[in-house]
Structure 1
Amino acid sequence: MTSPVFETTTPDSLVYLDRLAVTDLGRSYKGRMLDELDVRPGQTVVDLGCGPGTDLGALADAVTTTGAVIGIDHDQTAVDAARERSADRDSVTVHLGDIHDLRLADRTADRARTDRVLQHVANPVLALREIHRVLRPGGRVIMGEPNWDTLTIDHPDVTLSHAYTQYVTDKVIRNARIGSQLPRLAAEVGFAVPTVIPVTPVFRDVRTADQILGLERTTQRAVAAGYFTEEAARRWLDHLDGGSFLAAVTFYIVVAES
């Protein structure tokens, strides 16, 4: 079933985050999120789910030496990496923490951001309440999340495409539809939501798509879960490897204000 075009080993999570950040897609949507965050010198910004610190430098540049950037992540390895990378930035601190129970005082921050974090958390509503609590009046949070229900991978047999997307939404991503749900959920906890920006990357190269989507690895898991037969999986991957390739998924940048 496997082909040299596909990655068969799951990349380290920190490597994956770094790899995505330097792609054209990563630079584009992260730049848009930073623009919408509208950080001013002297402000306090919280990066929730900061990972290995991929975005802390850009935030530190925006607040200048008169502001503060607080990175928070639940993974100690990520926190250690982020601390090492930002060691020369006096305005940056990084903490181990839980987005559902932030160790920050009420009305601490002017800005906050989450980037592909809420799709994985146990309780997005509780996380949103915590973000609302720590933001000052007039504060802003920028959230970037996909809706995996919109994932489209072209194949002559559309039932295989549907099966793949269904497996991803059912089993792979905890909150698979969070991107399009976020405006409603944010409003329900007290945010105003003035702007929602849909971003739909289109992948025409299977190798590029595989580095983000893990096509072969996900297909193997779908076979084990009963979404594909072995024969159907072979047909699915053979076409993706050898045919004209197209995949797309919609990612939502949600602007919310306290």
Structure 2
Amino acid sequence: MPPPASTLRAADQIAYLDQAATSDPGREYKQRLLTALDLRPGLTVLDVGCGPGTDLPAMAVAVGSDGAVIGVDHDPEMLEQAQRRSAAHPQVSVRAGDAHALPFGDASVDRARIDRVLQHLADPRQALAELRRVVRPGGLVALAEPDWDTLAIDAVDTATSRAYTRYIVSDLVRNADIGRQLGRLLADAGFEVVALDATVAMFRDYREAEAVLRMPAVAQHAWQSGALDEASARTWLDSLANGPFLAAVTFFTVIGRVPTTES
């Protein structure tokens, strides 16, 4: 969970996404999501908010040479990186697009995925309505989002830990508690909820957590905005880096199916 995107260069955003994907919690939930999508040769798969294309090659292998994988993102630099990373897979294409208005026809894809994107969108409900429109009857969608309101960081200074989480929820992430809403939102959009899981992403190593949670950068933005006292925050960060470390956040995944015309 990086600082606000407007404060990061594209290279920093890409590095952050790569670090999150290769962390132990990142690898675990991504594999679960890929398995749950039930990708098979010949299917057409849509990755909404594909970023630098981290997962496009794995999807390409799953659908084979007769399938198609389409990555959509609004950021030209992300799309350029995604194109480069998937160059060895001719069944992969990337397109500029908005999750709120996908550039595809009705019932045109078999599978779709949104991974840690809804938390940032202006209108998650509209994005899910677009998924409902473009996925064929019987097709599957997979969603994955953290619930930042559950973030717990152990420290002697519990007040700063709580203020840090409040800053993330109130000011940093647009839809910070969307993880817990995924099942309801998917059902409201007209999907059948096939599976809904909540797991705890737990970090015992400060360096691994810093790569994903970016505590120093986020804390700096918090004290610059007045949400944290700078002196207290610096002492808090020092205690996290040098003492026993524990942080945990609940991560939700949900699988939905488009009802068939018969149902």
Decide: shared fold, TM above 0.5. yes
Query: Which residues in structure 2 correspond to 1:67-78 (within 5 Å)?
Result: 67-78=67-78
Residue in 1 that maps onto 2:127: 127
Residue in 1 that maps onto 2:53: 53
TM-superposed deviation, 1:202: 1.0
Residue in 2 that maps onto 1:4: none
Tell me, in whole angstroms, the C-alpha distance in 2 between the residues paired with 1:107 and 1:101. Answer: 14
Residue in 2 that maps onto 1:39: 39
Runs of 4+ in structure 1 over 6 Å off: none
Asked if residue 170 in structure 1 is aligned to residue 174 in structure 2, the reply is: no
The amino acid that maps onto 2:218 is T
Residue in 1 that maps onto 2:138: 138
Residue in 2 that maps onto 1:89: 89
Tell me, in whole angstroms, the C-alpha distance in 2 between the residues paired with 1:142 and 1:23. Answer: 20
TM-superposed deviation, 1:234: 2.5
Residue in 2 that maps onto 1:244: 244
TM-superposed deviation, 1:111: 0.3
Amino-acid identity (%): 50
Tell me, in whole angstroms, the C-alpha distance in 2 between the residues paired with 1:148 and 1:156. Answer: 21
TM-superposed deviation, 1:137: 0.6
Tell me, in whole angstroms, the C-alpha distance in 1 between the residues paired with 2:249 and 2:135. Answer: 30
Asked if residue 147 in structure 1 is aligned to residue 183 in structure 2, the reply is: no
TM-score normalised by length of structure 1: 0.93
Tell me, in whole angstroms, the C-alpha distance in 1 between the residues paired with 2:192 and 2:225. Answer: 40
TM-superposed deviation, 1:159: 1.6
Q: Which runs of 5+ in 1 are unaligned?
A: 1-8
Tell me, in whole angstroms, the C-alpha distance in 2 between the residues paired with 1:185 and 1:22. Answer: 28
Deviates more, 1:176-185 or 1:223-232: 223-232
CA contact (8 A) 2:167 2:222 kept: yes
Residue in 1 that maps onto 2:235: 235
RMSD: 1.3
The amino acid that maps onto 1:229 is D
Residue in 1 that maps onto 2:12: 12
CA contact (8 A) 2:25 2:202 kept: no
The amino acid that maps onto 1:217 is A
TM-superposed deviation, 1:53: 1.0
TM-superposed deviation, 1:45: 0.4
Query: Which residues in structure 2 correspond to 1:84-233 (within 5 Å)?
Result: 84-233=84-233
TM-superposed deviation, 1:215: 0.6
TM-superposed deviation, 1:165: 0.4
TM-superposed deviation, 1:29: 1.1
TM-superposed deviation, 1:93: 0.9
TM-superposed deviation, 1:156: 1.5
TM-superposed deviation, 1:43: 0.8
2:120 aligned counterpart, secondary structure: coil
TM-score normalised by length of structure 2: 0.92
Residue in 1 that maps onto 2:30: 30
TM-superposed deviation, 1:36: 0.6
Tell me, in whole angstroms, the C-alpha distance in 1 between the residues paired with 2:209 and 2:22. Answer: 14
The amino acid that maps onto 1:16 is Y
The amino acid that maps onto 1:13 is Q
